[in-house]
Structure 1
Amino acid sequence: MMGALGQSFINGITIGSSYALVAVGFTLIFGVLRVVYLSHAAVLAACAYIGYGVIEVTNSAVAAIVVATLAGAVLGVVIERIAIRPVRGQNHLIPMVTSISVAIIIEETLRLTVLSGQPISYPDTFASTVIRLHVGGAEPYFTVGQVLIFALTLALVLTLRVVVQRTWVGRAMRAVADSEDVSSLLGVRVNVTSARTMALASMLAGAAGVLLALSIGAIDAHFAEPLQFKALAIVLFAGLGSIPGAVVGGYLLGFVEAFAAGYLDTSYRDLFAYVLMIAILMMRPQGLFGRRLTQRV
């Protein structure tokens, strides 16, 4: 019993960290740009492939994470320029469609050009090293990669929080989130702020791509799609625009899935996760950390 508890806790931290990284990116994009953005999974997958190439050359997981994070930023800027900026301010369905279109192009390009779409096994690095604990006669285990996921998730989220709250870049983002027209009149470069927002969110996706690939061991062009939609659901039940809410929601969902799989069966994992989401939204339609909106008449 103690072994199952410890192992479920470790798995919950790993799953929750992955969810939190992607959900925070969604929260940042929606909170600033007010668009439903669905290219996150494609950016995550592309950066996982880039990380694979870096590991093949350098045999360094750290180098792979750094390069993939930077690549994510570049991809985010490109996607913002071709899929978000031209349609910003229009019906919210339009940027959703354009971002889905870009995602399909990226994923199909990966599928058709890399090993004819066959899954890729991530190379073994020091991140694959298994560490076993001896607790009360049980032996829960984790890998160095899982420790990296947790540590880097906290570091990246805290850094993002500081950027948003304490820097002039963050002030510009908050101004654009309040009103694009007013912020433009005050001298804020809205297009530049939009690109920076996408770059920051996509950096998180780039890091998550390599970290998740190190954890699961194999990837393909579409491996991140389930993660994307769960992260989007986390943003909804945690509270739109709340970075702390996205983090707490990610870990909450991760623990629910891990304990459901550990004590029942893996087939119950998604059932319990989505039941939790529905229950939270029924009790708090504004989300765990969202503010109740009132309409004045």
Structure 2
Amino acid sequence: MLSAEATAMQAYSPEQNAVLDALIRNRSPGWSFTGHLLGISYDRIGDTNCMLRCASADHVLDDIGRVDFGAVAVLGDLALGVCSREATGASVRMATMSIGLTMHDAIGQGDLTARSQLSSYDPRTRISTSLARIFCGNSLLCTLNGVFKVLPAPEGLATLDPRFRSNDSVGEYQCSELTDLTDREARIYSRVAGTASASGQSFLSRFWGFEVKTSRAGASGRVEIGPHIGNRVGHVQGGILYAFAAEVARVAAGGAFRLVSMHASYHRPGEGGVLCANALRSYQGRTTSVINTAVTDGAGCTMLFAQSTYCRA
């Protein structure tokens, strides 16, 4: 718990305000902490026409002012899943089976807008497929395709209640709103409170806890599992898991290469104490590079496998 005296002494950065705002909004069940943190909202929902937005607030940008790829991954996962949910009902949960992404432009500045639609739904297998396009500002950034398994919602899980677009902005918190943080909320907030920015690493990567280093054959990474990266069910949010694999693959490819495409298959839900990733260069040419990335739990069981293609920038 944060004391009133300690809270009153603090000056809050945009990042701290964003985390506190998400914690307070997340007290109303039906959405997720990550959705609130990224300010993701819905303009339209329907199985043939969905539109979601993510505003390019300070905490959603990387260290040089571009929209963070993590926000793209989370927005894409949500946009693909919501179409399938519309075909099956809100009182279910969507298990991500695979996500494929093709980049059409380099990530730049501007709000993200995702437009998605349902491709198919088989009631016998309860498997759905969907397509999405994400725009950064007015430019097409990437296209995505996703496959989802529709599962019964755990008992007691609140029905998804998407946050529709409004003029609400992140609150400016001073002291009174913070003195009643629960222990769980305080642990999440402690990940941002007083944390200095690391050169070359975005706020989201630091807050989510991505630890990545190069190796002779590529790169490896580690992230602790906790409520700061969880979805409504308590597993690692599918977009964050995708973003973690992409970050380790990016380091393996090297700074001279730019992401062209990435396909990830999800094997198991992200749960346990820690995620580990190992990215290996399966091909390295003069103009292209192919990276295979496996994300495992602490026991070595594979949770996600991804193959990424890069071109020399």
TM-score normalized with structure 1 length: 0.28
Would you tell me which structure has more helix in proportion to its own residues? 1
Q: Which has the higher contact order (CA 8 A, sep 6+)?
A: 1
In terms of fraction of residues, the more strand-rich structure is 2
